[in-house]
Amino acid sequence: MQRMRAGQNSRHCVAELRVYFRPMKFSDLGLSSELLRAVAEKGYDTPTPIQRQAIPAVLGGRDVLAGAQTGTGKTAGFVLPLLQRLVAADGRAPRVLVLTPTRELAAQVAESARVYGRYTNLRTTVIFGGVSEKPQIGALRSGCDILIATPGRLLDLVDQRALDLSRIKHFVLDEADRMLDMGFIHDIKRIIRLLPVSRPNLMFSATYSDDIRNLAARFLRDPISIEVASRNTTAERIEQVAFAVPKEMKRHLLVHLFDHGASGEGTWHQVLVFTRTKHGANRLVQQLENAGIRAAAIHGNKSQGARVRALADFKEGNIAALVATEVASRGLDIKELPQVVNYELPNVPEDYVHRIGRTARAGSTGRAVSLVSPDETGLLRDIERTMRRSVPFLPTPKIDVREPKPPATRPNASPEKRVAPAPRSKGPGGRPGPRSNRSRRVRRSRNAH
Ligand code: AMP
């Protein structure tokens, strides 16, 4: 009898432990069946660490201060519980306001809200500058529950009385550190003053400076603090390597890497390349195009239409290189992006972490390759110190420098002219030379159009 009871107890214990150690499911978080259905269709199995912590906190109406960057699943971490708190469409004026620093991030958060909310009747509207206000005003007039906005356009529409913030019940400040870097502090303070006094607030920031702490202290009330991965550890899944290369040889090395890969992995097909300046980004696009690599730039001087097109072309594989300045380093969400190249190192070590964080997202792995000229070795040291990790140098390959021919004699100098197959040069022994990879890439692009 005694033995039997002991056996029963231990079986009971094992069952309990199984429940305890069972990987958490979205259904354990108290989300509605409509949201669970949308999440399941998205293919998510288990909530990420930030989702596990943020969803119950937001459902419970708490203020949240989360140290999490893009790539951790933070968007679903706040969008899902906010959708649940709104329940159903109601009235015309928005009840949730999400402020983001960039148009790209605003568009992505709005897309997530629409996908996660597809089985609710909640209405999501996104507003940002660089495009006509009219459709945005129209969308607001026809009724909106969740508003995703960049600060400038939001204030413009408030000033025009096209937007009523008096019903906002939840306020989310996304990528707060980026907001401050971009000089939005006064806009943020003004927007906060326009909101109803009593409401839960959520603030996400990848880094914590004194300014961020001051801002948090200003408008968060007794927040739950969530820290999922410090900025120094997020880069762990990313293989990071560097090449020492004189400045004037960088573009030739980059073309070589597109053709051969960094360490024998073969031709590169989808690479996000970071430059420091908009002008440098445009110039590099031209140089890559001249070398037969389809490329587009994404930076603050590009119209919203051009940015959206470049990103879509890149995601669909129509272009092999997306050349971006810092503005694109946060918020960009490209599934299984294999490589990020730092054509120039950023001045601020944290920016390096954000840049390389565009690869290895949501649990996948990726590679970050930095081209380091002699004047940048100090910057690399600062980056290594910040990450508490060193970035090994690979031997710089011998580069076959071929200056592009003048456009008139070069059939593939611009995308339009690349209808004819690029000439196929022969390498040693009659094997296709390096150009063949590029020709293949151009042909692949053409087919994809
Ligand atoms: P975010 O940090 O919100 O930008 O999300 C980064 C990426 O992770 C996006 O592509 C999401 O679709 C994806 N993601 C978010 N939550 C999950 C999850 N629970 N499981 C798998 N992928 C997810």
Whether 215 and 245 map to the same domain: the answer is no
DSSP character at residue 145: S
70 Cβ closer than 6 Å to some ligand 1 atom: yes
Q: Is the pLDDT of residue 312 over 90?
A: no
Residue 35 CA, ligand 1 centroid: distance in Å: 15
Cβ neighbours of residue 195 closer than 8 Å, sequence gap 6 or more? 97, 165, 168, 171
69 Cβ closer than 6 Å to some ligand 1 atom: no
Whole-angstrom Cα distance, residue 117 to residue 111? 10
Residue 50 CA, ligand 1 centroid: distance in Å: 10
Which of 363, 387, 411 terminates a domain? The answer is: 387
Q: Best mutation site among 44, 205, 334 for ligand 1, i.e. most ligand atoms within 8 A of its Cβ?
A: 44
Whole-angstrom Cα distance, residue 353 to residue 29? 31
Cβ neighbours of residue 24 closer than 8 Å, sequence gap 6 or more? 46, 47, 52
Within 129-269, residue ranges assigned H as helices are 134-141, 151-159, 176-181, 185-194, 210-219, 250-260
Average pLDDT rounded to a whole number, residues 442-449: 31
333 Cβ closer than 6 Å to some ligand 1 atom: yes
Query: Cα-flanking dihedrals φ and ψ of residue 107, to 5°?
Result: -65, -40
Q: Is the pLDDT of residue 259 over 80?
A: yes
- Which pair of tokens denotes residue 348? 């601020």
- Residue 327 covered by a domain: yes
Atom of ligand 1 nearest to the CA of 362: 8
Residue 70 CA, ligand 1 centroid: distance in Å: 9
Residue 48 CA, ligand 1 centroid: distance in Å: 8
- Which pair of tokens denotes residue 391? 């970035």
Residue 357 in contact with residue 231, Cβ under 8 Å?
Answer: no
Residue 407 in contact with residue 414, Cβ under 8 Å?
Answer: yes
Q: Best mutation site among 46, 69, 75 for ligand 1, i.e. most ligand atoms within 8 A of its Cβ?
A: 75
Report the predicted TM-score, pTM, of the whole model to 2 decimal places.
Answer: 0.60
Residue 364 CA, ligand 1 centroid: distance in Å: 11
Whether 167 and 268 map to the same domain: the answer is no
Whole-angstrom Cα distance, residue 396 to residue 427? 21
339 Cβ closer than 6 Å to some ligand 1 atom: no
Q: Is the pLDDT of residue 194 over 50?
A: yes
Whether 135 and 200 map to the same domain: the answer is yes
Looking at the structure of the chain, the number of domains it has is 2
40 Cβ closer than 6 Å to some ligand 1 atom: no
Residue 362 CA, ligand 1 centroid: distance in Å: 5
Average pLDDT rounded to a whole number, residues 133-148: 97
Whether 208 and 256 map to the same domain: the answer is no
Whole-angstrom Cα distance, residue 171 to residue 149? 11
73 Cβ closer than 6 Å to some ligand 1 atom: yes
Sheet with strand 295-298: strands edge to edge: 238-244, 366-372, 339-342, 271-274, 321-324, 295-298
Query: Could you read off the pLDDT of 142-155 as tens digits, one per residue?
Result: 999 999 999 999 99
Which one has a higher pLDDT value, 412 or 301? Answer: 301
Provide the residue type at 322 as one letter: L
The β-bridge relationship of strands 271-274 and 238-244 is unpaired
Whether 211 and 272 map to the same domain: the answer is no
Whether 151 and 180 map to the same domain: the answer is yes
- Residue 380 covered by a domain: yes
Whole-angstrom Cα distance, residue 233 to residue 55? 23
What CATH number should be reported for the domain holding residue 75? 3.40.50.300
Whole-angstrom Cα distance, residue 419 to residue 446? 8
- Res 310: pLDDT: 87
Nearest CA to ligand 1 atom 18: 44
Q: Which of 331, 351, 361, 303 is nearest to 98 (CA)?
A: 331
- Which pair of tokens denotes residue 18? 């199984």
Residue 405 exposed, middle or buried by CB count within 10 Å (0-12, 13-18, 19+): exposed
Residue 112 CA, ligand 1 centroid: distance in Å: 10
Q: Is the pLDDT of residue 445 over 50?
A: no
Whole-angstrom Cα distance, residue 53 to residue 12? 28
Residue 73 CA, ligand 1 centroid: distance in Å: 4
48 Cβ closer than 6 Å to some ligand 1 atom: yes
Residue 137 in contact with residue 157, Cβ under 8 Å?
Answer: yes
Whether 204 and 292 map to the same domain: the answer is no
Which of 361, 387, 413 terminates a domain? The answer is: 387
E-strand ranges in 106-173 read: 124-127, 146-149, 170-173
- Residue 75 covered by a domain: yes
Q: Label residue 213 by pLDDT band (50, 70, 90).
A: confident
Whether 205 and 346 map to the same domain: the answer is no
44 Cβ closer than 6 Å to some ligand 1 atom: yes
Q: Is the pLDDT of residue 184 over 90?
A: yes
Residue 297 CA, ligand 1 centroid: distance in Å: 25
- Residue 192 covered by a domain: yes
Residue 72 CA, ligand 1 centroid: distance in Å: 6
43-57, 113-127, 322-336, 424-438: which is most confident: 113-127
Which of 227, 251, 272 terminates a domain? The answer is: 227
171 Cβ closer than 6 Å to some ligand 1 atom: no
- Residue 339 covered by a domain: yes
Average pLDDT rounded to a whole number, residues 317-342: 80
- Residue 337 covered by a domain: yes
Whether 368 and 282 map to the same domain: the answer is yes
- Residue 68 covered by a domain: yes
Q: Is the pLDDT of residue 211 over 90?
A: no
361 Cβ closer than 6 Å to some ligand 1 atom: yes
Q: Is the pLDDT of residue 427 over 60?
A: no
Whether 36 and 84 map to the same domain: the answer is yes
Whether 150 and 257 map to the same domain: the answer is no
Full residue range of the structural domain in which residue 324 is found: 238-387
Whether 189 and 272 map to the same domain: the answer is no
Separation in Å, CA 397 to CA 53, 278, 321, 375? 46, 28, 20, 20
Which one has a higher pLDDT value, 363 or 140? Answer: 140
Residue 421 CA, ligand 1 centroid: distance in Å: 39
- Residue 271 covered by a domain: yes
